[in-house]
């Protein structure tokens, strides 16, 4: 359980602090304002997302309720599985902790008074992405720290699933 506290809480706080900074730095929304961090590759922007990954279902009036409910169910399920020792190795436990911080970070955005949307702000232009997805203008969908935690957790769970268990 310590891992949940030592990994989940700091990443959750990092997510919320960075989102607050973005909201203060870019008070006018929508805006074409951005901070170019690495020219032609990485920018900081302000994007509102009421949907899920890649902006799917963005703008749906019930999205926050639906994805908020899914978030609560997911966190409840992960904690229940954690208590049942369903995460047998360090990789899967780290993945569970990352999932909780990511889900909690985006859930918080959805339920904060006056918010009702997830704040995305990391804007990348990977090489050749514009050719693969011409409608993107070359920009990969914006994301945040919570989204990063969820994606890394998914990758770790896949790795953990294919690892051979150590013999006792």
Number of domains in the chain: 1
Mean pLDDT across the chain, nearest whole number? 91
The answer to whether position 168 is within a domain reads: no
- What is the pTM for the complete model shown? 0.90
The predicted structure's pLDDT at residue 6: 94
The domain of 34 spans 2-162
- Is 167 contained in some domain? no
What is the pLDDT at residue 58? 79
Q: Is 123 a catalytic residue?
A: no
Among this protein's residues, is 147 annotated catalytic? Answer: yes
- pLDDT, tens digit, for every residue of 84-128? 999 989 999 999 999 999 999 999 999 988 888 999 999 999 999
Are 94 and 3 a contacting pair, CB within 8 Å? Answer: yes
* Mean pLDDT, residues 22-34: 92
Residue of 15, 109, 123, 147 marked active site:
147
**Could you say which of 15, 109, 120, 123 is catalytic?**
120
**Does residue 38 lie in a domain region?**
yes
| Closest alpha carbon to 99 in 157, 46, 38 | 157
């Amino acid at each position: 359980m310590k891992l949940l506290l030592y990994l989940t809480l700091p990443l959750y706080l990092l997510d919320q602090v960075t989102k607050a900074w973005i909201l203060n730095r870019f008070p006018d929304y929508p805006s074409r304002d951005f901070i170019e961090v690495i020219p032609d590759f990485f920018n900081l922007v302000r994007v509102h997302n009421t949907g899920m990954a890649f902006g799917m279902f963005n703008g749906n009036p019930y999205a926050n309720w639906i994805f908020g409910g899914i978030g609560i169910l997911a966190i409840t399920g992960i904690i229940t599985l954690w208590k049942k020792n369903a995460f047998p190795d360090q990789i899967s436990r780290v993945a569970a902790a990352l999932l909780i911080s990511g889900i909690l970070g985006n859930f918080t955005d959805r339920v904060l008074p006056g918010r009702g949307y997830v704040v995305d702000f990391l804007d990348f232009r990977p090489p050749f992405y514009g050719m693969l997805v011409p409608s993107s203008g070359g920009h990969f969908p914006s994301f945040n720290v919570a989204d990063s935690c969820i994606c890394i957790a998914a990758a770790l769970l896949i790795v953990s699933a294919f690892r051979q268990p150590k013999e006792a």
